[in-house]
Amino acid sequence: MNNLEHAENLLKNSDFTCVCCNDTEMLTSRKREVAPLLEWLDSSISLKEFSTADKVIGKGAAFLYVLLDVREIYTNVISKSALETLENHHIPVTYDVLTEAIRNRDNTGFCPIETAVSDISDPQKALFVIRETLAKIQKS
């Protein structure tokens, strides 16, 4: 079993929301949305040689994976803009469901992070907007 298959298997058979594997290490998280990705970025962790499995990837998460420099990704659900972002940065992706956009938790509209970065193409600018959007959400 290769690293991507291992990560996918763990994701599907556990309560993890995100699993990253390489030949010697494994990172996992049960946190939702982009929280684990931001934690890893803030910890200066590089996922350069890691294969990653994630339950849902919107465009915001895609930008964070670009900044984390992951090798490849499997996801249950991915938005079209997230797939395009990852492909533009040469990160191979396999997925089960391709959707127009990621919905919010209440299914009343679109994910606020994906909406906030919808017109952005620069990962660093996206990171700034993601943090700004999360700060606004937390104040609400």
Q: What percent of the chain shows pLDDT beyond 90?
A: 84
HEC string of 28-81 equals EECCCCCHHHHHHHHCCCCCCCCEEEEEEECHHHHHHHHHHCCCEEEEEEEEHH
Instruction: Please give the CATH number for the structural domain made up of 3-139.
Output: 3.40.140.30
Are 29 and 18 spatial neighbours (Cβ–Cβ below 8 Å)?
Answer: yes
pTM across the whole model: 0.94
Sequence spans of domains, the chain:
3-139
73-120 tens-digit pLDDT? 999 999 999 999 999 999 999 999 999 999 888 888 888 999 999 999
